[in-house]
Amino acid sequence: MRKLILNADDLGLATETNAAIERAHRDGALTSASLMVGEAGFEEGLRVARANPGLAVGLHLTLTDGVPILPAARIPSLTQANGRFRDDMATLGLLLVLSPAAKAELAAEVAAQMERFTETGLVCDHVNAHKHYHLHPLIAAALMQAAAGAGVRCIRLPWEPGALVRRADPTSPRTAEWALKPWCATLRQRALNWNLLAPDQVLGLAWSGHFTAARLLAALPLLLPGVTELYFHPATQAGFPGSAEGYAYAEELAALTDPRVLAALEGVARGGYAAMLLPKAG
């Protein structure tokens, strides 16, 4: 049996993402969203979440290209002079391995973001990370610990079946599946130690920012058995603060609200992470 999670990243980033996520849920196929708790659009994103109880909402942990919850002076290893997170992900990743102080700062910031989410009163459906930074083993460990401590049961591990993606669109860029598949399998085992479950596979990595209706319609008949997360970056337009250069935000919103997509999803089980991954009570 196939079960689908149609998730939007970057709830809380900006007005443009918040409005698109609300529209994609109310008028389209979107079932869940991942909330950034330190960005300028957080309060508005929170309003969207509260106004749409059918939208499952989780934490989109942000440790790069964003704003920390803790004062920058408390986490100097993670931040730049302007108070924002560092953008040199590889260098920071190495520092986390080498520096006990940086590792302690990481744990504190991850816990602070989890606490900020908990304080909203929303049920945290899942956790994942901006730019999949939780593929770093120490970030994964900190996120899993914080999630489990907050009673969260689900996490994204972004293994994407490359053969399926290329069947849907032969022009698709190749991802490092040779490394991602075994590493995500390892992280899946570590997640189980924290009582966390992950979808069996994910779509959206190769098509990040360009998950069009054509690609979605081509992929849906090819999906493997089990739980698949399809993740998107919808926004009403590009060019807003925090937007990624070159992303076709409006096209992703159009994909999620396309009548052909809605017809193709008719009768297919879909929902948030917890609804699709956890056994039903009783």
Domain ranges of the chain: 2-277
pLDDT at 232 over 70: yes
pLDDT at 264 over 80: yes
The pLDDT score that the predictor gives to residue 282 is 46
Distance CA 199, CA 188 (A): 10
pLDDT-derived band at 223 (thresholds 50, 70, 90) equals very high
Once rounded to an integer, what is the mean pLDDT over residues 166-184? Answer: 95
pLDDT at 281 over 70: no
Once rounded to an integer, what is the mean pLDDT over residues 186-213? Answer: 98
Distance CA 150, CA 167 (A): 39
In this predicted model, what pLDDT tens digit does every residue of 67-83 receive, in sequence order? 999 999 999 999 999 99
Under 8 Å between Cβ of 228 and 4: yes
Question: Taking Cα atoms as reference points, which of 66, 20, 8, 13 lies closest to residue 240?
Answer: 13
Distance CA 201, CA 156 (A): 9
DSSP assignment letter at 39: S
The pLDDT score that the predictor gives to residue 279 is 87
Mean pLDDT of the chain: 97
| Side-chain half-sphere CA neighbours of 82 within 13 A | 7
Percent of the chain with pLDDT over 90: 98
**Cα–chain-centroid distance for residue 68?**
17
Tokens standing for residue 252: 């992703």
> In CATH, what class is 2-277?
alpha beta
DSSP assignment letter at 209: T
